[in-house]
Amino acid sequence: MIILDGKQTSAKIKEEIEAQVSVMKQQNKRTPHLAAVLVGTNGASMTYVGAKVKACQLVGFESTLIELSAETTEAQLLNKIEELNNNPEIDGFIVQLPLPKHIDEQKVLMAVDPDKDVDGFHPMNVGRLTLDLPTFISATPYGIMELLERYEIPTSGKHVVVIGRSHIVGRPMSILMSQKRAAGNATVTIAHSRTTNLAALTKEADIIVAALGIPEFLKADMVKKGAVVIDVGITRVPDASKKRGYRIAGDVDFESVAEKASHITPVPGGVGPMTIAMLLKNTLLACERRNP
């Protein structure tokens, strides 16, 4: 069994980006600038945004963190987005999800300039993705594709079961893997909460992408021997033995599934770090597009 090491792979990608930034600096070009908007004080969101800003510093990007209170109105947030859209210093920006309940998430994502939408959530970019056109691929599916590619996992003609149909993970993942592209050309089944007899599907799968958000959901008896297993899940599970009071759990029962899988991503250290690396890659792309 081979661990698909997202920590190591993402470190390599960050080194590559850092090298590109050094060249940009030598050529007196502008360095990429990412802004992140955080509304409220959701613990997990604060951690994710903090990690994204830190990663920017590591590779030599400029970064700006905009922290807004949980009481921020939808209109105020839309104004902030308009400001970022019009700010020539900013190459790309993200609005960390989830947003407080009183704010319409869809309206907010629609307001982001598609050319600065480095999360790839804008309908224009999702549409481009489905049509095989160059776009910003949303970072988590993009990171999984990169991991499969770098580990040279054969995907052509393979049966992939994606568990979860969310707009940010499952759906784009299913589209990417069915496309004619590196780590693509697969036959894809997308499963969700209404799927009946999921185990019958997963047992037939060569590659399983678990993105449903239920800790340790995928058990060994649901997996074919030699399958490639990608665990996207990140859930905080209460754990009194930990100083912070919780542990991070994936959607895969790692201990038992690892014994059957040919390749598997750990949690933490798998898909999570890849997501951040691909956000940086998208920001670099946004900067290069704006400064050809």
120 binds ligand NAD, rule: CB under 6 A: no
222 binds ligand NAD, rule: CB under 6 A: no
Beta strands in 177-251 (DSSP E): 187-191, 207-210, 228-231, 235-238, 246-249
Pairing of strands 246-249, 235-238: antiparallel
Helix H or strand E segment including 14? helix 6-26
203 binds ligand NAD, rule: CB under 6 A: no
The Cβ-side half-sphere exposure at 230, using a 13 Å CA radius, reads: 30
211 binds ligand NAD, rule: CB under 6 A: yes
**Exactly one of 91, 96, 206, 251 is catalytic; which is it?**
96
What is the C-alpha separation between 213 and 200, in angstroms, rounded? 20
Residue 180 falls in the annotated catalytic set? no
- Kindly tell me which residue out of 34, 56, 137, 163 binds ligand NAD, with binding defined by CB under 6 A: 163
Residue 119 falls in the annotated catalytic set? yes
Supply the minimum distance, in Å, between the C-beta of residue 65 and ligand NAD.
19
272 binds ligand NAD, rule: CB under 6 A: yes
- Kindly tell me which residue out of 232, 257, 264, 279 binds ligand NAD, with binding defined by CB under 6 A: 232
**Exactly one of 5, 119, 206, 231 is catalytic; which is it?**
119
Helix H or strand E segment including 160? strand 159-163
Which part of the chain contacts ligand NAD (CB under 6 A), choosing from 20-28, 106-114, 168-176, 257-265? 168-176
164 binds ligand NAD, rule: CB under 6 A: yes
Q: Which two tokens stand for residue 134?
A: 């160059």
- Kindly tell me which residue out of 47, 73, 106, 193 binds ligand NAD, with binding defined by CB under 6 A: 193
Residue 206 falls in the annotated catalytic set? no
Q: How many residues does the chain have?
A: 292
Q: Which residues contact 221 (CB under 8 A, 6 or more apart)?
A: 199
Which part of the chain contacts ligand NAD (CB under 6 A), choosing from 7-15, 27-35, 157-165, 252-260? 157-165
The runs of H, that is alpha helices, within 114-162 are 123-130, 139-150
Q: Residue 246's beta-bridge partner residues? A: 238
Q: Which two tokens stand for residue 31?
A: 């360095």
235 binds ligand NAD, rule: CB under 6 A: yes
Q: Catalog residues that contact ligand NAD under the rule CB under 6 A.
A: 140, 163-166, 168-170, 191-193, 195, 198, 211-214, 232-235, 271-272, 275
Residues annotated as catalytic are: 52, 96, 119
